[in-house]
Each structure stands twice: as structure tokens, then as C-alpha cells.
Amino acid sequence: MKPRFKELYKHTPTGREVRQRRLSHEAQLRRSHREQLFMGKRLRYRLTEDSETESEYEFTPSDTAIITRGLKSTNKGERLDSLKNLSTKLEHPSEELRRFVSHGDCIDLLLKFISATETDEKLLSVWCLTNIAANESALAEKILPATPHLITLISSDNLLVPASVVWGQGQGKGDPKLQELVNQAVWTLGNLAAENEEMREHLFASGALKPLVELADTTTSSKVLQTACFALSNMARRPNSFFDELFALNLHTALASQLAKFKSDKGCVKEISWVYAYLAASSSESQVNKLLASGAIEQLLDYAGTVDPPDVSLIPIIRTLGNIVAGTDAQTHAVVRLPQFVPLIVRCIKSSNSRAVEKESLWVLSSVTATKPDIDAFVSAGIVDELTKIVETQNFDIRKEAAFSLLNIAIAGQRLEELPNERLVSAFVEFIKSQDQELVRLGTQYLQILLTQIKDRQGVELLKNVTGGIDALENAVAVSEDDDVRTTGSALIDIYYGEDSTKME
């Protein structure tokens, strides 16, 4: 994966390697934070007017005994009522209920219902498992014995068995209850896959991946497709040992086909996009080429063009684009040349409707501008003025993302003198005054190119026009723990005072 911006300091290879490791770590932290905002497990709530919340009840040992008796009752109505009650309480399990799941008969009783023939009881028991899996790892792992049953429920082979044998007399493949049951089983698997690497490896070893892909490929249900993509996006998350199998099963082409069928369904497009985001994030060069060849990127761009103003539903699409343009120069160019791409990214950066969309789009832009060939398309679209406004007026987290691209345009694009430097110098001095070391580095990097690459000391004159500009640089050199900032800052101070104008040549 190429760096987000060009190297600016002229140090030894060891220095560059250290800096790149640091930048990679910072990038991982940002990605991890964004994942926490948009991905994770999903509870299934029972929406009723009299639903109790966590603060409205305390599940006691007597409640456990009542539910246990109900689950073991010979009366179907009592069993169903107990399953409904249990699934609701599992939304926010009390300590007593956690003990019932961890050490009591809960899991064994639920497994008996899944193994039986009553679809209503199957559905409610899987619903309970879904909410158990949505809790912390210590509870989620308790349902691992149910994995083979869940996989059987979603298996295409299973759906070929006569309906009267598997689902009870009179229920066939098109039955809504069967479809809901399949959806709930997939939901549970998705929650397990979201837990950690060990859970994903367990699901893969149990044979869950192939039926999930087949279901995503063949379902005609929007609801089931969305849930299958939720599960698959979690399965695709690194680390895992089976990533290549996702491509061997042709998941990328299957979802491209489904994308064409469900292109007007916002929920489907969003969930499919999350799968592509994770596929693109961990793919090899050849696998990214397969994603590009699938036609999915064009379809995602077509859909994104219809979302106006841009909103958070575009996050997985923009993330997918960002992961691809972070690849080779050829892959970056393949995306940039698509007619919908540049207008989309510019529109998302200009939009004030969603900070998350703006930050993701700036991330994409910083990858595109890291290489010269594709910078011109964005410069021609007026992005420099928009980036300048951002570094002047936005909060520092947004300014930081815009600064990467401005530095790239100046260095990789060789357009320093075309930038509105009389405005930018003040903004980057504010970076140097901040307590954020990454902002200080960015500000120092900008001053480096300003003072060394503009002829006749014009850069020095611009800095002199900024009140407190040189003072900010001197203070950064005095207090920074970053060797690059201290070394480069000291050299810039010498240039400013005319002591050694060739020191950084």
C-alpha cells in the first residue's frame, strides 16, 4: 500500500522507514476508530409499547426457574411465551441471566428447540442465540455448540430436503417463517464473526463460509441479503486465515450481480458496500484487480451519485474507494478515470452534511494525490480552494486530513507556487502552535517546502507576515520530542535569519 503523502524530509533510509512505520500505526488507529463507529454486533430488539428496559427489571433466580419451567413445558404456548420473554431479557442481560446462560440449562434447552421441527420455536430460540452472541465474548462463546445447527439452517443442501421433513408439514422454501428463520441464523453467525479472530476461524472450520456466500449469491430477499452481507463483512475482517477463499468462492462477482438487482435498495447497497470495503482493505494486487473487473465500483459510484446531499450511507462506498486507490498507481488511475469518481469526492468534501463523510473523502483524496498522474483531475475540479478553506476554518481533525492532500499537491504535483500560500502559511503556523505532534509535523513540513522551494526568499517573506510565525517555530524546536521536527525546524530558523540558506538543499 502506498503512503498517503510523499516523503518530505531528506533523511537516511532508516529515518524514512521509522517515519513510515509511525504513519502506518496512526493510519491503523484512525481506521480502528472508524470501524468502531460503523461496524459491530447487532441485537434484535422486540419492539412493543410495554417492553421493559434494563433499568425496569431485575432478573432473579425465581425468574430463572419460571423461564426454565416454561421452556420445558409440554404446552406449546407456554414454551413460546418463555422463549419470547427470554429473547427480550437477553437484550440487556442481568447478572442472574448471565449465569443462566453461562452455567445453567439455557444453551442446552435452546439447542433442543433448534433440533426440533417446530419453526416458531426454532425461530425464537435462534433469536435468543442472536442476542447472546451480541454480548461480550464470555457469553458469545457459550453458543458455539449451536454453530453446526445454524449452518444447517442456512445451507442450500438443507433447502433441497423436502419441506415436510425439515420444516414441518406444509412449510416450504418460500414460506415467510422459513425465510425469517434463515435470516435469524445468519444474523447469529454474523455476531459471532464480529467477535474476534478465534470465532471467525471456528466458523470457517465449521463450514460456514460457503453457505453464507451461496446465500448472498442466490437470495431474492432484501432482508436476507443485507444480513448475509453483514455476516460476510465480519468474516472478511482481518486477521483470518481464509481470506483468499472469499475470492475463490467468487464473492466479489456474486455481490456485483446482486448489486445490479438491488441497486435501488439503500439498505442492500450499504451492506454490500461494507463487504467490498473489507475485501478491498486486505486484498492483494491481483485481488484488487478482480474487484475492479467485477463492475461493482462503477455501480457503487452510480448509486453514490444519487445520494444528495451526501450522508453516512456513503461511508462504506467511500471506504471501498479509499482502499482501492491506496493500491498501485495503475489501480488508483483506474478509479480516478471513472467519470463519477472525482465529482463524488469533491462533492463529499464540500458537503457540511456529515463530518464522517468529509473525513473519509479527504482520506481518499490524500491517497490519490500521493502520486502525480492523478492530481490534475482534482486540481481542475477546484479542490485546492476547498482544501484551503478547510485548513483555515475547520476543526483540527478535519484540517489535518486536508493538509495531507495540500502537501501532496505541492510536492508530488509540483504545484507549490500555484497554491494560495499567503493564506496557507497562517493556517500551517496554527498547526505548529498546537499540542498535536502530527499537526506540528505537518506545519513544519509545509514551512520546509515554502522556505526552500520558492525562489528569492519569497517564502521567508510570507512567514514574516504572519504574527508570531517564527516564534511558533522556535517554540516547537524547543519543546518537541520529535527528532525530525527539531532538526528541520532548526534548519528553517537558520534559513529565516539568513544564516545558512543552503543547509536544506
Domain boundaries, the chain: 50-249, 428-505
Which letter, b or e, does each residue of 122-153 get, where b requires 16 or more Cβ atoms within 10 Å of its Cβ? bbbbbbbbbbbbbbeeebbbbbbebbebbbbb
Q: What is the pTM of this model?
A: 0.87
Out of 47-56, 206-215, 412-421, which region has the weakest mean confidence (pLDDT)?
47-56
Helices (H) and strands (E) in the chain, counts: 31, 0
CB neighbourhood size of 417 (10 A): 12
Out of 37-51, 141-155, 308-322, 454-468, which region has the weakest mean confidence (pLDDT)?
37-51
Give the model confidence (pLDDT) of 245-286 as tens digits.
Answer: 999 999 999 999 999 999 999 999 999 999 999 999 999 999
Q: Is the model's pLDDT at 170 over the cut of 80?
A: no
Q: Is the model's pLDDT at 53 over the cut of 90?
A: no
Give the model confidence (pLDDT) of 7-34 as tens digits.
Answer: 433 332 233 343 344 345 445 544 544 4
Mean pLDDT for the stretch of residues 213-222: 96
Please state, for a pLDDT cut of 70, what percent of the chain lies above it.
85
Phi-psi region of 313 (alpha: psi -120 to 50; beta: other; left: phi over 0): alpha
Residue at grid coordinates 531528506: 10
- Per the model's pLDDT, the better-predicted residue between 158 and 185 turns out to be 185
* CA gap 358, 373 in Å, rounded: 23
Distances (CA, A) of 407 to 2, 30, 349, 404, 425: 16, 20, 17, 5, 12
* CA gap 107, 210 in Å, rounded: 26
Centroid of chain to Cα 374: 25
Could you give the 3-state DSSP secondary structure of residue 328?
A: coil
* CA gap 475, 267 in Å, rounded: 51
The confidence score (pLDDT) of residue 148 equals 97
Q: For residue 39, give every residue at least 6 positions away whose Cβ sits within 8 Å of its Cβ, in sequence order, or none.
A: 194, 233, 234, 237, 274
CB 30 within 8 A of CB 505: no
Among 6-15, 16-25, 370-379, 436-445, name the most confident range. Answer: 436-445
Dihedral (CA of 346, 351, 352, 357) sign: negative
Out of 88-92, 267-271, 297-301, which region has the weakest mean confidence (pLDDT)?
88-92
| Fold topology of 50-249 | Leucine-rich Repeat Variant (1.25.10)
Residues in the chain: 505
* CA gap 484, 477 in Å, rounded: 10
CB 360 within 8 A of CB 326: no
Out of 68-82, 88-102, 140-154, 487-501, which region has the weakest mean confidence (pLDDT)?
487-501
Q: Any long-range contacts for 493-497 (C-beta under 8 Å, 24+ apart)?
A: 495/451, 495/452, 495/460, 496/451, 496/460, 496/463, 496/470
DSSP state for residue 5 in the 8-state scheme: S
* CA gap 406, 426 in Å, rounded: 14
Mean pLDDT for the stretch of residues 434-462: 95
**Average pLDDT score over the chain:** 88
